[in-house]
Homo-oligomer: A and B are copies of this chain.
Amino acid sequence: MRVAVVKNILDANSRIAQENRKLFDKLGLTVINLMSSPGAGKTTLLEQMGKHFGGQLKIGVIEGDIQTTLDAERVAAAGLEAVQIETDGACHLDANMIAAAIDGADYADVDMLFIENVGNLVCTAGYDLGEHVRIVVLSTSEGDDKATKYPAIFQGSDAMVITKTDLKPHLNFNTDRITADLKRLQPDAAVFEVAALQGQGISDAADWLLAKRPHRK
């Protein structure tokens, strides 16, 4: 007697993420999943990206928060199209939440969609949302030991954006150390340093994102 073995069954999240990605590709929409600790500066980075790409690209944002619409209001005030997901306690976004969010939105003329995940350096790492690019955002004030202590999120990211570099004179933060730790986990990861409030370093990260676009069309 032979037993039929069905292999590679996708879990529900991966299945929905795959559907999301198909839809994004069909729309020619490049989707970026921004992940970090609370307060690392994802929203400020988005505000600056919006400013940088203004006129050149149409940018959409999905904001994930446990509660409140504070971040969505901030990016909307910066002129970006924002959809808010309130996770009602859940510590990360998942593909199903994204599917629900894009279901009600019109992305026909949007070029790039940023998903700002819940502030959580652990739980967000395990959930594919259907994005094309994963970016881990780390502020200098969090310390240069974080890639070693929270390896999953760094290992799964295409780039690390180090924020709040204007604070470096007041901190013990070694960019070489965190970069070396990141490269051990993910040799191909790009590294950017920004002081977003001052608009510094934004264009390097933005150019890198632009270069990701042709592959999606």
What residues make up the interface of A, taking CB atoms closer than 8 Å to B? 37-40, 65-68, 70-71, 89, 91, 118-123, 139, 141-143, 145-146, 148-152, 164, 166-167, 170
Contact = CB atoms under 8 A, between A and B. Distances in A.
Given A37-B119, A38-B149, A141-B141, 9 more contacts: A38-B143, A39-B139, A39-B142, A39-B143, A65-B149, A66-B122, A67-B150, A120-B121, A167-B167
A122 B121 contact: no
**A contact face: mostly helix, strand, loop, or mixed:** loop
Nearest to A39: B142
Contacts of A68: 148-149
A70 to B, nearest CB: 6
A143 B139 CA distance: 12
Contacts of A142: 37-40
A122 B89 CA distance: 8
